[in-house]
Amino acid sequence: MRNLADVPVTDLKGVGPKNAERLARLGIGSVQDLLFHLPVRYQDRTRVVPIGSLRVGQQAVVEGEVELSEVRFGRRRSLLVRIADGSGGITLRFFHFSAAQKANLARGCQLRCFGEVRRGPNGYELIHPEIQYMADDAALQSDGRLTPIYPTTEGMHQLTWRDLTERSLALLGDGGLEELLPREVRRELGLSPLSDAVRLLHRPPADQSARLLSEQGHPAQRRLALEELLAHQLSLRMLRRQQRRRGAPAMHGDGHLRRALSASLPFALTGAQQRVLDELLADLARPHPALRLVQGDVGSGKTVVAALAALNAVEAGYQVALMAPTELLAEQHHANFVGWFDPIGVEVGWLSGRSKGRRRQAILDRLADGSLHVIVGTHALFQDDVAFDRLGLVVVDEQHRFGVHQRLALREKGAAGQVPHQLVMTATPIPRTLAMTAYADLDLSVIDELPPGRKPVSTVVINDQRRDQVVERVALACREGRQAYWVCTLIEESDALQAEAAEVTANALGEALDGIRIGLVHGRLKPREKEAVMLAFKAGDIDLLVATTVIEVGVDVPNASLMVIENAERLGLSQLHQLRGRVGRGAQQSHCVLLYHPPLGGVAQERLAVMRETGDGFEIARRDLEIRGPGEVLGTRQTGEMQFRIADLLRDQDLVPQVQQLADRLIREHPESVTPLMRRWIGERARYASV
């Protein structure tokens, strides 16, 4: 029997060039792909419901005789067909119909219909129901199965999906889907044969629970989810294994630079910071590449830990590159590193997409000859013309904004065929189960302790009709010597529109707040202009900083104790938490005001309630995961990585520990299964596992 992974979907009757193109949009190229395109929900059409018992919103099958059929002309022409079954009557309404359809729906005709009951002008209606004609007054026999509803794309009707999956199931036989999990593993876990699971999910008998199936909790669905999660886990394990095969510099610094920086800091490291630093130093001392993800809430002090790890590399005679996803964040890191490193005699370079001409060339020359030890920049750091003499450590901030490929691009710039160590940081806490799945190629460290003396930020949610009261509160705080942020948010992505909104707000606040010094920062300002405003704010020369969300990360002003976020309902939980993290960095009590414009949708209400209830970044991340889903939280919705066909990281997180054990076992005992599993579930995207 042919393996259905090798049978193109165009071999199926009904798949011409147009449908092949539509299926390709959904990633379906083979019959196997089509069989793994599972229904999202199911309808029970096996029971005929008396018309008299119908309720609004119910999806039901009814049978009846046509009593009346007429074309009604109103705002839209429609065909109205009245059917009755003795218990009651209901109207079928068709906006699109042909003369032949009208003729077939004549009085006395017996019909079976399926649709959703709606309230019409003259009683209950079914709009464009699916209909079957019943010959000679004989009731139609149900096939005794639940009806699948498939995720679809424009131009693909549910009837087409049912037809194509019917043809695919006919080819399934007993061996069309190869069993890739070893027999002993399937037996131990009590897993049904793959072909049986797929057949059941496409055509479930009526005795199966439609609710359980629609909630994706059926054992057959869990069997497929486990295999898919396993394939993703294996791909990341293989990536990690290949990374570890490469050599990396074993860096043993003598500690003199780290001691000098520690002595100059106005604070001591927290226990969590010291623990994570020790883990990093142990990594860097090994002769294979470190791959460590450091998570820490806003303000937990990840950057200083990265700085101390960087100094260990410099002490050992190696270069360090710190890469951030945006110019503003990279600029903030550069400013921090310069402030810490300059006094102890370590120069910090800068490289971004805007670095041009002789200045850029001078930096490139010094990186290539090894005279510059530390460089901070954006993705410009992994461009082809950037060469290092002895790159030993790469620090990547806000990992979820870079793809796996981008993160790996810098490793080829290591010294003499060696791979640099990698430290990946994120201030977007990721629930542990999700991190264990998404970043299985990385070791995980968590800075789960805030510096002593930090008070939780008090958060209130206020209707923007009380804006004047909020303005008075800002005035009072500034006159008492404290500083404040006023953040403007716009749905539009345009820098120009956001800048204009911020300027309008700054002007309005300037008129309302006499004597208050107001600064303005937005994405249209040149880097030097932005830096000048931020330095003035930090120095206390500006009382109120009006800004767009560009200040989301990287700004540390301990005297700023009040933040107002306008239109807070437009932002996600993660972004709101990042913004709120700009205050609460000093010893005084800080406050965050979330201004919203009513009416609020359900999701917006939920987000704002979470912000009011907790300041714990990991709890916020957990709730964010529930609201938005893993793809959005990880930033993989756009990159195409970690996209699942069947599994769901939130719903199936209880499978993760089992999947991790299985991955270890397959690599150890059944290596022949690893590549086929990755190819089946990840396809072309499996390439990053062998990059």
Higher pLDDT, 487 or 140: 487
CA angle 449/452/455 to nearest 5° reads: 95
Q: What is the CATH number of domain 256-447?
A: 3.40.50.300
DSSP for 188-217, please give it: HHTPPPHHHHHHHHHS-BTTS-HHHHHTT-
| Dist CA 316 CA 87 (whole Å) | 88
Residue 174 has what pLDDT?
Answer: 61
| Dist CA 531 CA 327 (whole Å) | 11
**SS3 of 448, please?**
coil
Burial level of 235, CB count in 10 A (0-12/13-18/19+)?
Answer: buried
Higher pLDDT, 615 or 143: 615
pTM equals: 0.68
Question: Does the structure show a pLDDT above 50 at 689?
Answer: no
Question: Does the structure show a pLDDT above 70 at 528?
Answer: yes
CA distance to 34, 44, 202, 645, per residue, from 213 (Å): 19, 12, 11, 16
Question: Does the structure show a pLDDT above 90 at 198?
Answer: yes
| Contact call for residues 91 and 82 (beta carbons, < 8 A) | yes
| Dist CA 199 CA 536 (whole Å) | 67
Residues in the chain: 691
Higher pLDDT, 648 or 272: 272
Question: Does the structure show a pLDDT above 90 at 32?
Answer: yes
**SS3 of 449, please?**
coil
Residue 571 has what pLDDT?
Answer: 86
DSSP for 531-571, please give it: HHHHHHHHTTS-SEEEE-GGGGSS---TTEEEEEETTGGGS
Mean pLDDT of the chain: 85
pLDDT tens across 73-97, in order? 878 889 999 999 999 999 999 998 9
458-614: CATH topology is Rossmann fold (3.40.50)
Residue 636 has what pLDDT?
Answer: 46
Residue 594 has what pLDDT?
Answer: 95
CB atoms within 10 A of CB 361: 12
**SS3 of 644, please?**
coil
Burial level of 17, CB count in 10 A (0-12/13-18/19+)?
Answer: exposed
Higher pLDDT, 253 or 399: 253
Which amino acid would we find at residue 233?
Answer: Q
CA distance to 124, 346, 517, per residue, from 390 (Å): 76, 16, 47
Residue 609 has what pLDDT?
Answer: 92
- Mean pLDDT along residues 155-181: 88
Question: Does the structure show a pLDDT above 70 at 406?
Answer: no
Question: Does the structure show a pLDDT above 60 at 407?
Answer: no
Higher pLDDT, 173 or 397: 397
Residue 148: name the closest of 48, 13, 59, 44 by CA.
Answer: 44
CA distance to 21, 303, 471, 531, 689, per residue, from 550 (Å): 40, 19, 22, 12, 34
| Dist CA 199 CA 241 (whole Å) | 36
Domain boundaries, the chain: 4-43+149-215, 51-141, 256-447, 458-614
| Dist CA 302 CA 276 (whole Å) | 9
* CATH class given for the domain over 51-141: mainly beta
Q: Which residue has the tokens 């991955």?
A: 663
- Reported confidence tier of residue 630, pLDDT bands at 50, 70, 90: low
Question: Does the structure show a pLDDT above 80 at 491?
Answer: no
Question: Does the structure show a pLDDT above 60 at 42?
Answer: yes
pLDDT tens across 120-166, in order? 988 999 999 989 888 755 555 566 788 899 998 888 888 899 999 99
Which pair of tokens denotes residue 613?
A: 């209830």
3-state helix, strand, coil in the chain (%, to 5): 45, 20, 35
pLDDT tens across 551-603, in order? 655 567 888 999 999 989 988 887 888 889 888 877 789 999 999 988 888 88
| Dist CA 292 CA 171 (whole Å) | 46
- Reported confidence tier of residue 64, pLDDT bands at 50, 70, 90: very high
Residue 691 has what pLDDT?
Answer: 35
Which pair of tokens denotes residue 549?
A: 């969300």
Residue 94: name the closest of 43, 129, 48, 137 by CA.
Answer: 129
| Contact call for residues 114 and 90 (beta carbons, < 8 A) | no
- Mean pLDDT along residues 425-441: 71
Contacts of 494 (CB under 8 A, 6+ apart): none
Residue 166 has what pLDDT?
Answer: 93
Q: Which residue has the tokens 């042919």?
A: 2
Across 174-178, 187-191, 556-560, which has the greatest mean pLDDT?
187-191
- The β-bridge partners of 119 are 124
**SS3 of 390, please?**
coil
Residue 202 has what pLDDT?
Answer: 95
Range with the lowest mean pLDDT among 273-287, 473-487, 547-561, 588-602? 547-561
- Mean pLDDT along residues 616-645: 64
Burial level of 171, CB count in 10 A (0-12/13-18/19+)?
Answer: middle
Residue 189 has what pLDDT?
Answer: 92
pLDDT tens across 201-225, in order? 999 998 888 788 888 889 999 999 9
Residue 639 has what pLDDT?
Answer: 41
Which pair of tokens denotes residue 421?
A: 């160590």
Domains 256-447 and 458-614 agree in fold: yes
Residue 397: name the closest of 450, 440, 337, 448 by CA.
Answer: 337
- Mean pLDDT along residues 370-399: 88
Range with the lowest mean pLDDT among 103-117, 129-143, 355-369? 129-143
Q: What's the per-residue H, E or C state across 581-598?
A: CCCCCCCCCCEEEEEECC
Residue 384 has what pLDDT?
Answer: 81
Spell out a b/e string for 446-471, using b for 16 or more CB atoms within 10 Å of the CB, else e.
Answer: bbbbbeeebeebebebbeeeeeeebb
Query: How crowded is the C-beta side of 667, counted as CA atoms within 13 Å?
Result: 19
